[in-house]
Amino acid sequence: MADTGGEALVKLLENYGVDTVFGIPGVHTLELYRGLPQTGIRHVLTRHEQGAGFMADGYARVTGKPGVCFLITGPGLTNAATAIGQAYSDSVPMLVITSVNETHTLGKGRGCLHETKDQRAITAPLTAFSATARTPEDLPDLIARAFAVFNSQRPRPVHIEVAMDVLAAPVARDWTGEVAVSARRPAPCTEDIERAVALLAAARRPLIIAGGGAVEAAPELQALAEAAQVPLFTTVAGKGIVPAAHPLSGGATLCTQAVWGLVADADLVLAIGTELADTDMWRDTLPIIGDIVRIDIDSEKMNDLYPAALPIVADSRQATAMLLAAWGARSPNTDSDWLARVEQLPALVRQGHAALQEQHQQVLDRIGKVLPEDALVATDMTQIAYTGNYVFPRSQPRRWLHPTGYGTLGYGLPAGIGAKIAAPEQPVLVIAGDGGFLYTVQELATAVEEVDTALVVLVYNNASLGQIRDDMLERNIEPVGVLPRNPDFIGLARAFGCQVYQPESLHALAGDLSRAFGYAGVSFIEVDADRLFS
C-alpha cells in the first residue's frame, strides 16, 4: 500500500535530519501524525501552540538546526504566530507545517471547521516564505526550498500548509529519500578581503561587533581579534562568541553608556553577522563615526542606518577565516591605550548601575557562582534578564537565549524546554518575571512530562509589570494595569509536579540553586524581590 502524503512527508523530514517535532495533534492533522510512529522522530506534546513555536525556537538556537512544529489549521497557526514572529525577528530557522482545509474548499468561505480566509496572508510577513501543497508531489519541492533557506540564506521561519485531502492522498511515487543538496553560503571575493585587511591594519582604534549571524565563526573571530589585537563586542544574540573573561572581550555591553563613547572614538568598525538593531543597544543608533566594514549574508543590511565603507555579502565563518589567513603575520597597529579602555569597561559598566540593576547584579552573581559551566540559560522579557543581557558572563555562544528583536513575553519557559530537548544532558536555567511566566505557565506540564535531568525555572517576582510601571512613572503617567494579583506560584508549581524552593535570602538562593541543579527533573524557584532585599 502506498504511503499517504502525510506519511511520506514525515519520512522525508526524517531523511533531512529532523529528530524532534513540537505540537498538539488535532482533527486536521491526524494524517500527518499517522506516520510518526514509523520513524525515529520524537514528538513533544506542548500545552499551547505558542509553546510549540517557542520550544522549536529554543531547540533551533541551541542546535543550529531548524525547529519543527506540527500545527492544526486556523487557531493552531494563529496561536503560534507570535512565536513565528519572534523567530523571524531573531533569524532563527523554524519549519512550521500546518494543515489547511480541503483543496476544493479553499477561498470559498463555506464555514468549514477551523477555516481561515488566507493562512498564507497571516504568515507571509513572519516567514522567509509561506506556501501551499495542493498535491503530494508538491511536498518534496517545498521542503527542499525550506532547507535551502535554512542552509544557504539568512535563516528564518518557513510555513508550509498542506491541504487535508493531500495529507490523506496516496503518493504516486516514493520521493521520501529525495533530500536536496543546498547551495553553500557565499564566500567573499579575495579583493574585498584584501581591502578589509588593509583597513584593519591601518586602524589605530578598531573594534569588532559580532551578532547572532556570526556564532558559527566564534573560533575564527577569537583568533582574528587576538592576531590583530581588536576588542570584540557582541549583540545579545552573539553573546559568548568570545569568552567573557577574554582580555579583548567587550561582552554584550553595547547598550551601556560606558561603551557608547568607545564606539564613537573607533576609527574602524568591523560588523559581522549583525543588523546593528536598536534592541541590542537601547538607543536608535550607535554613534559610529569611523569607517564600517559590514559582512553579512543579508544584502539588505549593507545600506540601512549604517552604510558600509566596504560592504561584503558573505557567510560569516568563511569570511572570517579568509580575513585571518590574509592577516597572516602582520603586526597589530592598535593603540595600547585603546586596549586599556576595554580593560576598564567591566568596572565602568558596574559603576553605571542604578539601584535596580545593582539588585539584579547581586542575584545574577549568586546564580553565576553555582551555574554549571555547560548550562544553557533561557530568559524572558523581564528586567533582570535585561540586566543579564549585558552583565551575565557566557563562555560560549548558543548558551544565552533571549527574545531580543520581537521582545515577546512568555518566551523563557518554553524556549528553555526546547533547549533542554536539544541538549538533554546539559543543565538548563529559565529566568522569567512573574508577568511573562504566566503567559506560558501551562508548559510546566510539558516540562515535567518530558524532562528527567536538571531544568531549573526561576521566577523573579516583583509583583508587577515592572518595566512598564517604571516607564509610566518616568513619563508622569499614573500607573494603570501594572500591579496584577499573582497566584501562589509555589503551590502552582507543586501542582504541576515540580520540586519547589522559595529562598529568603541571597545566601539561601545559592544553596537552593545548587540543590536544584543536582535534581534529575524540574525545579521551580520563586525569588520574591521584596523579601530578598528587605
119 neighbors 98 (Cβ within 8 angstroms): yes
**Residue 395 is assigned to a structural domain of this protein:** yes
Name the percent of the chain lying above pLDDT 90.
88
Q: What percent of the chain has pLDDT over 70?
A: 100
| 182 in any annotated domain | no
Q: What SS3 state is found at 523?
A: strand
Indicate the pTM of the whole model: 0.95
Q: State pLDDT tens for residues 217-233.
A: 999 999 999 999 999 99
For residue 9, being part of any structural domain is answered with yes
Is residue 285 domain-shared with residue 149, that is, in the same domain?
no
Assess if residue 175 is contained within a domain.
no
Question: pLDDT for 184-199, tens place per residue?
Answer: 999 999 999 999 999 9
**Average pLDDT of the chain, as a whole number:** 95
Q: Is the same domain home to 292 and 417?
A: no
Whether 33 maps to a domain, the answer reads yes
User: CA 353 to CA 341: how far, in whole Å?
Assistant: 19
- Where residue 423 falls among pLDDT bands split at 50, 70, 90? very high
Strand partners, 234: 210
User: CA-CA distance, 429 to 474, in Å (whole number)?
Assistant: 32
Indicate whether 419 and 312 sit together in one domain. no
In a domain, 394, yes or no: yes
Taking 80 as the threshold, does the pLDDT of residue 114 lie above it? no
Q: Are residues 21 and 46 in the same domain?
A: yes
Domain membership of residue 444 (yes or no) is yes
pLDDT digits (tens, 9 = 90+) for 236-260: 999 999 999 999 999 999 999 999 9
- In this prediction, residue 1 has a pLDDT band, given cuts at 50, 70 and 90, of very low
Q: What is the pLDDT at residue 289?
A: 95
Q: Which of 291, 319, 349 is the last residue of a domain?
A: 349
pLDDT at residue 117, rounded to an integer: 83
CA atoms within 13 A on the CB side of 483: 5
Q: Do 143 and 164 sit in the same domain of this protein?
A: yes
Tell me, yes or no, whether 519 lies in a domain: yes
Helices (H), 3-117: 5-15, 30-33, 49-63, 75-89
Same-domain check for residues 338 and 361: no
For position 334, which CATH number holds? 3.40.50.1220
Residues 121 and 80 in one domain: yes
Q: Please tell me whether residues 370 and 495 are part of one structural domain.
A: yes
Question: Is 379 in the same domain as 528?
Answer: yes
Q: Which domain holds residue 435?
A: 353-532
* Residue 496: CATH number of its domain: 3.40.50.970
Whether the pLDDT of residue 108 is over 90: the answer is no
The tally of domains found in the chain comes to 3
Same domain? 333 vs 401: no
431 or 532, higher pLDDT:
431
Confidence of residue 2 (pLDDT cuts 50, 70, 90): low
Q: What does the pLDDT average to over 15-38? A: 95
The tens digit of pLDDT for each residue in 316-336 reads: 999 999 999 999 999 999 999
Provide the 3-class DSSP secondary structure of residue 292. Answer: strand
| Pair (274, 418) in one structural domain | no
Same domain, 526 and 504: yes
